[in-house]
Amino acid sequence: MESKTAITKEQIVNLSRDVFRKLGYTKVTMADIAEAVNMGRSSLYYYFKNKEEVFTAVAGSEFSGILDKAQNKLKANNSFYDNFLAFNKERLTLLHNIQNDYDNLLDDIREHPGLLYILRNIHFDREFGIYKQMLQWAMRRRDIAPISADDLQFLITNMIYAFKGLEQEIFLFGKVEELTDRLEWVSSIISKGLQ
């Protein structure tokens, strides 16, 4: 059974999402969040020490949802190319939707570059596991050449950060259409390079 603290934190995150959507990170105050969750500010500070912590929790929840939906696109019997393309296309599309939902997000990130760092590093370990699963399926199917454990770790880390660079383009410049159009080409190059 979940603790009262966990349930309350989850409720705060869910209700805070709308506050960040409407006002953006820069304009949101802890008072705005406390009002939205119908809680006194001192009670809110029991759960989160500042709005950055609340924003990080909201962003973590949003990105977790994106990874859930993107991971659902993966199939053990698909080629590496198909899985890689489906996963990343879904991620980029959903990230674009988030950018549209949070009207002020681009301006906030430009004004507070540290927010991009927060967004970039949320769920790195989970993404690592997803890419590892894709590559292991592909090696078992002999869709790609075998990769040593050290090389696999290096490859996955670089693939994640390459796509984090694409995410950055979405958040800073809103260039999703260009990126999704070229995703098939990028997926093909990576897939062929691993054969």
Q: What is the pLDDT of residue 3?
A: 56
Domains recognised in the chain with CATH numbers:
59-193 (1.10.357)
Q: Per-residue pLDDT for 122 more than 90?
A: no
Q: Per-residue pLDDT for 48 more than 60?
A: yes
Rounded average pLDDT over 88-93: 88
Q: Per-residue pLDDT for 103 more than 80?
A: no
151 CB contacts (<8 Å, ≥6 apart)? none
Question: What's the predicted TM-score (pTM) here?
Answer: 0.83
Confidence band, pLDDT 50/70/90 cuts, at residue 124: confident
Rounded average pLDDT over 57-79: 92
Secondary structure class of 166 (helix, strand, coil) = helix
Which of 160-175 are b and which e, b meaning 16 or more Cβ less than 10 Å from the residue's Cβ?
beebeebbeebbeeee
Q: What is the pLDDT of residue 179?
A: 67
The residue with tokens 């002999």 is 142
CA dist 180 → 94, 118, 170, 190 (Å): 11, 23, 11, 15
Confidence band, pLDDT 50/70/90 cuts, at residue 1: very low
Residues above pLDDT 90, as percent of the chain: 44
Confidence band, pLDDT 50/70/90 cuts, at residue 175: low
**Burial group, residue 177, by CB count within 10 angstroms (0-12, 13-18, 19+):** exposed
DSSP label at 55? H
Q: What is the pLDDT of residue 4?
A: 56
152 CB contacts (<8 Å, ≥6 apart)? 132, 135
Which among 163, 23, 186 has a CA at the least distance from the CA of 105? 23
Q: What is the pLDDT of residue 134?
A: 96
Give 119 or 17, the one with higher predicted confidence.
17
73 CB contacts (<8 Å, ≥6 apart)? 83, 86, 87, 89, 90
Instruction: Identify whether the C-beta of residue 176 lies closer than 8 Å to the C-beta of residue 92.
Output: yes
| CA separation for the pair 146, 135 (Å, rounded) | 9
Q: Per-residue pLDDT for 176 more than 80?
A: no
Give 84 or 93, the one with higher predicted confidence.
84
Q: Per-residue pLDDT for 6 more than 90?
A: no
Instruction: Identify whether the C-beta of residue 23 lies closer than 8 Å to the C-beta of residue 54.
Output: no
Which among 125, 132, 124, 116 has a CA at the least distance from the CA of 80? 132
Give the phi and the psi of residue 102 in degrees, each rounded to 5: -105, 85
Mean pLDDT taken over the chain: 85
Q: Per-residue pLDDT for 158 more than 80?
A: yes
Confidence band, pLDDT 50/70/90 cuts, at residue 132: very high
